[in-house]
Structure 1
């Protein structure tokens, strides 16, 4: 699977369904923003700049942070666009209408009432994805329901709720139980007492389920997730409605305080953050969000303490390794292959592929992480870490080089190991698939054309920004001049018409006198 570019393909603002061909959009980091971003139903939007055929366009625009498809959230606003008070009020009203029908407090009150009901009255509406109280049954006529909802079912909400499988927005592909057991056992063996689960609802519920049945199990968790449906099943200290693409807590300061208390408990000791973002999401805004969570954790540290890092497990496809390590240089990628229960490709079995491309990126030293031998992993004494059985140590690279679980081959012309299906192309002067196009890779920098970095880290970006800023100013001056000329012309036309009218009136009076 080819590595996707760290850019967003966009459509025209007017909503046409066709793509812009070679056009792409790159996110502008929050530090570059002069004013607060406008809000959509998913919280603060992100600022993008459109790049077409190697040139950055002058106009930047705001779009939804969570939805990469405008069918899911059609917010679009040019950065320099001025909105009327009426339009702003209409947008605020729309954003309010798109929020969950019940507040967080109301959800907790309903949950407490629900668990007090006798088993025969506990009902879940599958169509509305909602726990029903007896006085609400008549509002759901003909809807498929689950009756006699047990306490065990309430503790496994991911089995009651339909997964939201939009890979660009929610991507609710749930961990297989095998993966959850591995993570839970690993966290316990490493001595962690708290797990901040960012977008990992299945892991969160299995941690809580094991804690409720094993008094010796000393691990608790807090779930941050954009799926508000989970608010029906958890108290305030167990779940926060959260958008990981813009660090937005939908329930405001109260939810932020819950997260802060969880991260800073015991002066920040014994906590790990584990996150499984949608694979269609951009790495850049995710990295910004995770650094904000790290900053909250650091607030609870003593100033005289030795500088430490918040332990993190970022679960993402292996072909994002260079992008993730660009933002977190201390991260390394483990060989462990993460499986999903409801994904047709990323799981074991007849319907899945032999190797899952999803890996764990972490700042925990890999020598401390023991991978299960019974699942096909071995310890490499030279690398001092666990690797897959087919990942053989290369004496030339002095490393176990495979990324996808297969045995890679060393290319002496490229001076590195490559996938076994690749061959060295004398035209491209690099290894690639036998049937590849020799036009060269499409990734790289849009500004200078080099392949070893992206536009956001280009050393020439400051020069380009100055040129673009000057172009924007020139365009703005031209636009203002045209507006002034138009206004002046309209004013002159009005004056001329008034004078003609007065002359006609005087002439009429003269003829009639």
Structure 2
């Protein structure tokens, strides 16, 4: 791999705060830089915070680009056109009207994903419409709405009932009375459902989600249209104030943040957002707030552990496997590599979190925490080292525990899969270019932040687009020539 240029795209978090970022339909954009061998190269550019691919959001602007007034107005007009046709307040009023209708007149359009009032039925006559929407269905909108499926932007993998109830039991066991739900609509509705059944000392919940469809079912005090990748409230100051009051109520006591972001999201961007919310919580004015930290549960795959703990060193990863109803792979109870890789990262003490014994979890007296049944304590590492639910083994040459399918390679001088290629086994660090460590252990990781395959893929995509343009141009030219020839023959 020596001599091969290492290309990538890095997220720039330390940009000039005085320079306002341009907006796309998803709010303020993020600043990126192209890098080669760990060094910034070329022009910086702004791109969408929520969408990782240009086909999902077309916005692109060079940092130093002089944008004309006409272009700014056109972009502003485009951004407005991509916003919902009804405001949250209007949807809340519609819900009040819908809730008092007789059961026979409560309808929901599955194609438009919209609650229908009687005067609107005619406009949806050719659509698939559900009738007799019950109160129970209105209280569980995540089961009524069709999940969004873009895994890099707004993927809605909804908690299975097992995981959802475990989270709620954890919240109750730790005496939290307010939950800030970020991208967790199913937990939000379960909290509301239980609170309606047990009105004494109810747990309150505020849902922050990019899916505006939930505004049809919740008031402005229960839901905020929110982009977790840039900490942007689409409802403006009013929505921001709602979140602030929720976090700071009772001097910030009894509140916890629970987030389940799309797994294709940038870790550094999400961490930056959570730090913003932590800072809001600290502004309670209470004397102890500066010394303490907002309790957080961040749900993410276990292979992001090093990156998350690098940003939040006091977080710990639990062995609990989070599973989802509508994901084919992320299921608890499967064996081997088919187990769900999704875990809980939290700043709560692992010792205080009891994992269900009936599901195979056990308490390790040495580590003083619950672990999965196959996660055996390693005397050499003095820890329960497994990350993926399988029993790992200790390699005395690497001086660490490794996956059971790995073997020590004398050529690479490290453990790897038996089928690995020694020639390409050690490509080195994709951040700084050094060959003695990997990207995750790079001391320059924070400076370069997220390095992805964007550079090479961007060039490939550009070449593909140019080839299509040339091909379409040749087709158009041939069509014009034939048309001209046929006119001459007719004349």
Please give the range of the TM-score, normalised by the shorter of the 2 chains. Answer: 0.7 to 0.9
Structure 2 partner of 1:282: 266
Compared CA separation, residues 461 and 45, structure 1 to 2 (3 A): closer
Q: Which residue does 1:165 correspond to in 2? A: 149
Q: Take 2:232 and 2:34, find their aligned partners in 1: how far apart are those partners?
A: 25
2:220 matched to 1:236?
A: yes
- State the distance in 2 between where 1:62 and 1:34 align: 15
**Structure 1 regions of 5+ residues with no counterpart?**
1-20, 463-513
Q: CA deviation at 1:211?
A: 1.1
Asked which structure has the greater RCO (Cα within 8 Å, sep 6+), the reply is: 2
SS across alignment from 1:224? strand
Partner of 2:359: 375
- 1:54 Cα deviation after fit: 5.1
Deviation at 1:346, TM superposition (A): 0.0
Query: Which string of whole-angstrom CA distances, capped at 9 and with x for unpartnered residues, describes residues 54-97 of structure 1?
Result: 55322111110000111110111111111110010000000000
Normalising by structure 1, what TM-score?
Answer: 0.82
Cα distance in 1 for partners of 2:447, 2:158 equals 40
Counterpart CA distance in 2 for 1:451 and 1:415 is 16
- Are the aligned partners of 2:11 and 2:32 in contact in 1 as well (CA < 8 Å)? yes
Q: Which residue of 2 aligns with 1:5?
A: none
Distance 1:352 1:435, change over 3 A: closer
Using structure 2 for the length normalisation, give the TM-score: 0.86
Going from structure 1 to structure 2, the CA distance change for 1:170 and 1:293 (only over 3 Å counts) comes to: same
Matching of residue 404 in structure 1 with residue 396 in structure 2: no
1:203 maps to: 187
The corresponding residue for 1:104 is 88
Alignment of 1:180-329 (within 5 A): 180-216=164-200, 218-303=202-287, 307-329=291-313
Q: Does 1:385 align with 2:369?
A: yes
- 8 Å contact 1:367–1:386 — kept in the other structure? yes
* Cα deviation, residue 23, structure 1: 3.5
Q: 2:444 aligns to what?
A: 458
Point out the structure with max Rg over C-alpha: 1
Aligned CA-pair RMSD: 2.2
Name the CA shift for 1:353/1:140 in 2 (closer, same or farther; >3 Å).
farther
2: CA distance between counterparts of 1:370 and 1:39? 44
Q: What is aligned with 2:60?
A: 76
Partner of 2:472: none
Query: Which residue of 2 is the match for residue 346 of structure 1?
Result: 330
SS in 1 for 2:343: strand
TM-aligned CA distance change 1:351 to 1:114, over 3 Å: farther
Q: How does 1:45-84 map to 2 (within 5 A)?
A: 45-52=29-36, 55-84=39-68
By how many angstroms is 1:104 displaced? 1.3
Question: Aligned to 2:42, what secondary structure does the other structure show?
Answer: strand
Deviation digits for residues 126-154 of structure 1 (CA, Å, limit 9, x no counterpart): 00000111111111121001111111100
Partner of 2:115: 131
- CA drift of 1:352 comes to 11
Tell me the equivalent position of 1:174. 158
> 1:213–1:317: structure 2 CA closer, same or farther, 3 Å change rule?
same
Cα contact 1:28–1:49 (8 A) shared by 2 = yes
Aligned with residue 139 of structure 2, among 155, 164, 167: 155
Q: Deviations over 1:422-464 (max 9, x none)?
A: 01111111111111122234573523525355699529969xx
Correspondence for 2:106:
122
Q: Is this contact kept in 1: 2:408–2:414, CA < 8 A?
A: yes
Q: Distance in 2 between matches of 1:41 and 1:394?
A: 50
Unaligned runs of 5+ in 2: 449-491
State the distance in 1 between where 2:81 and 2:336 align.
Answer: 40
Q: Residue 381 of structure 2 contacts residue 401 of structure 2 at CA under 8 Å; is this kept in 1? A: yes
Cα 1:166/1:159, change in 2 over 3 Å: same
- The answer on whether the counterparts of 1:207 and 1:221 sit within 8 Å (CA) in structure 2 is yes
Give the one of 412, 425, 428 matched to 1:440. 425
Match of 1:262, SS state, is helix
- For residues 257 and 340 of structure 1, what CA distance do their matches in structure 2 show? 32
CA distance in 2, matches of 1:387, 1:309: 25
Asked if structure 2 preserves the Cα contact closer than 8 Å seen for 1:210 and 1:217, the reply is: no
Q: Which moved more, 1:453-462 or 1:327-336?
A: 453-462
Partner of 1:51, secondary structure, is strand
Residue 10 (structure 1) aligns with: none
Q: 1:352 to 1:99 in 2, by over 3 A?
A: farther
Contact 1:346 1:353 in 2 (8 A): no
Aligned residue pair count: 442
Residue 466 (structure 1) aligns with: none
Partner residue in 2 for 1:431: 415
- Of 22-31 and 439-448, deviating more is 439-448
SS at match of 2:242: helix
CA distance in 1: counterparts of 2:289 and 2:265, whole angstroms: 35
Q: Structure 1: how far apart are the matches of 2:190 and 2:263?
A: 23
- Supply the distance in 2 between the matched residues of 1:368 and 1:78 (Cα, whole angstroms): 49
Structure 1 pair 441/113, CA: closer, same or farther in 2 (3 Å)? Answer: farther
CA change 1:360–1:301 in 2 (3 A) is farther
**Mapped contact 2:180–2:207 kept (Cα < 8 A):** yes
